[in-house]
Amino acid sequence: MIENIRLSFQGIWSHKMRSFLTMLGIIIGIAAIIAIVSTIKGTNERIKENIIGSGTNTVNINLFQGDNEFYLDEMSSVPSGVSVLDENYKKEILKDDLVQNASFYNKREIYQEAFYKNAHSGSKVLGVDNSYFDTCSYIFKSGRGFSESDFNKFRKVVILESSVATSLFKSEDPIGKTIEIKSEPYVVIGVVEKSKKFEPVINTMEDYYEYMTNISGGSIFITNATWPICFGYDEPKQVVIKASSTDNMSKAGKFVADYLNSNAITKEAVDMKYKAEDMMEEAQKKQELKEQTNNQLLWIASISLLVGGIGVMNIMLVSVTERTREIGLKKAIGAPKTKILAQFLTEAAVLTSIGGLIGVVAGIILAQVISKVANVPAAISIPAAVGGVIFSMLIGVVFGILPSYKAANLNPIDALRYE
């Protein structure tokens, strides 16, 4: 085998231009496939990142009535058959390895007005527990978090997201200032922001409509202990969890939703159930939609590989004709058919493998160029690169069979007489 490979390189090098032109179809085909696969992977990663966010791995599990998310307003009442979520439920949820952290909180869909002097901000008010900020990957820019005594003594203290703090206080330090929420005075004790700031990449109107809905406005956080002071009564809590990894988000969300539906929803509840926001599934649907178009390009690029394979078969037939006397001499001194067959198959495989390697390099360069020029994300796929080289080798074997078979079956006497 090593001798056959050495002879293959020797034959390729002795006809450099002819060998390069033969490999050109393979190079173009592999380069096109690598570039397309890279842009597909890059686009999929961008879709996933834009929808899921910056890698906080949080999943919201919300209470639904029928097909619509349930929320309370001043005109509705607390549903029967839905248990109030407490620490016992949280302990059971955290036993699963898929869930890294969990928090229960209250929220209202309608934005509430918060006032400070003449400034006001329409913001989402959440009544949270002690683990909310860790679960959702918030960090404190200033001030402190809620303490146990804040919950136990029902202190009216509030933590603001940085955008809300800027809206209400401009450049003024908000810590220690008093704001009004639902006509109730709350003292600001902290300002938070996400630990990983993330903004979707928007290049087209399609990107805008697909992704901008995932960006939420600023929030105001009060303790769930003082939530009834503002809103009059206790109500079913929502759940947010931090999955152990991005890939486990769907499984973790489903596990928590199933657990709550089995243990926190009774038969008295009318058409009520917890559902997880499956961002991974949404991302996968959009990825599949993009891939349907890109897969057509892959088939078109594959045609050039077929053309390249035919070119290899043609040049190998020419090589067999040129080396007829050499083949006859080898057979005359006892070389078996399998040796002749293996030599020419090896030469065809080496030829296309070199083309495949060059094609992979060219494809990586092409993907980067497309990424810069067209502002399309590209992510190099190692499996695709390795697969491209292996596939190019198989093309050499497949299209080299006919010439190799012809060489192996030459009559040694006729071959030696060939001029």
pLDDT confidence band for 278 (50 / 70 / 90)? low
Residue 32 structural domain: 2-50+285-417
Question: Considering 242, 270, 298, which residue would you say is the last residue of a domain?
Answer: 270
Range picked from 20-34, 170-184, 364-378 for highest mean pLDDT: 170-184
Same domain, 32 and 91: no
Looking at the fold, whether 361 and 216 belong to one and the same domain comes out as no
105 pLDDT more than 70: yes
In a domain, 200, yes or no: yes
pLDDT mean over 98-125: 83
Q: Is residue 373 situated within a structural domain?
A: yes
Task: Give yes or no for residue 211 having a pLDDT over 50.
Answer: no
Does any domain span residue 219?
A: yes
How far CA 274 is from CA of 18, 33, 260, 262, 314, in Å, comes to 67, 44, 7, 10, 65
Instruction: Report CA-CA distances (Å) from 233 to 53, 85, 194, 226, 302.
Output: 34, 15, 30, 10, 65
Q: Are residues 33 and 116 in the same domain?
A: no
Which residue in 103, 95, 123 sits closest to 180, CA to CA? 123
The answer as to whether 349 is a domain residue is yes
- Residue 59 has phi, psi (to 5 degrees) of -130, 130
Report the SS3 class of residue 84: coil
- Considering 220, 238, 270, which residue would you say is the last residue of a domain? 270
Average model confidence (pLDDT) across the chain: 79
Most confident of 39-43, 58-62, 156-160, 317-321: 156-160
Predicted confidence at residue 132, as pLDDT, reads: 94
Query: Could you tell me if 231 and 330 lie in one domain?
Result: no
Inside any domain, residue 58:
no
DSSP 8-state assignment for residue 131: T
Least confident of 36-45, 207-216, 313-322, 376-385: 207-216
242 and 113 within one domain: yes
What is the distance between the alpha carbons of residues 188 and 195, in angstroms, rounded to a whole number? 20
Type and span of the H or E element at 345: helix 337-374
pLDDT digits (tens, 9 = 90+) for 46-103: 666 655 555 568 888 988 888 777 766 655 666 778 888 888 999 999 999 999 999 9
Query: Distance between CA atoms of 393 and 388, rounded to whole angstroms?
Result: 9
Beta pairing, strands 157-161 & 112-116: unpaired
Residue 212 has pLDDT above 50, yes or no: no
Q: From the CB of residue 68, how many other CB atoms can be counted at a distance below 10 Å?
A: 7
238 in the same domain as 148: yes
Look up residue 393 and give its two tokens.
Answer: 């080798």
Q: Of all residues in the chain, what percent carry a pLDDT higher than 90?
A: 21
Tell whether 60 is covered by a domain. Answer: no
313 burial (CB, 10 Å; 0-12 / 13-18 / 19+) is: buried
pLDDT at 281 over 60: no
Q: How many domains does the chain have?
A: 2
Q: In terms of domains, do 395 and 339 share one? A: yes
Say if 280 falls within a structural domain: no
User: d(Cα 236, Cα 128) in Å, to the nearest integer?
Assistant: 13
Tens digits of residue pLDDT in 267-276 = 777 788 888 8
Distance from C-alpha of 276 to C-alpha of 256, rounded to nearest angstrom: 8
The per-residue pLDDT for range 167-199, each reduced to its tens digit, is 899 889 999 999 999 889 999 999 999 876 544
pLDDT in the model for residue 188: 96
Residue 324 has pLDDT above 80, yes or no: no
Mean pLDDT of 386-413: 79
CB 275 within 8 A of CB 265: no
H-helix or E-strand containing 401?
Answer: helix 382-408
In terms of domains, do 32 and 178 share one?
no
Question: Is residue 278 domain-resident?
Answer: no
Looking at the fold, whether 176 and 219 belong to one and the same domain comes out as: yes
If you compute the radius of gyration of the chain from its CA atoms, what whole number of angstroms results?
33
- Give residue 258's pLDDT: 92
User: Residues 20-53, buried b or exposed e (16+ Cβ, 10 A)?
Assistant: eebbbbbbbbbbbbbbbbbbbbbbbebbbbbbbb
Highest mean pLDDT among 17-21, 168-172, 321-325: 168-172
Strands 184-194, 157-161: pairing is parallel
Based on the domain organization, do 289 and 245 belong to the same domain?
no
Contact 416, 326 (CB under 8 A): no
Residue 139 shares a structural domain with residue 177: yes
DSSP 279-300: HHHHHHHHHHHHHHHHHHHHHH
Mean pLDDT over 205-223 rounds to: 61
Residue 29 shares a structural domain with residue 127: no
Which of 270, 297, 316 terminates a domain? The answer is: 270
- The share of the chain scoring above pLDDT 70, in percent, equals 79
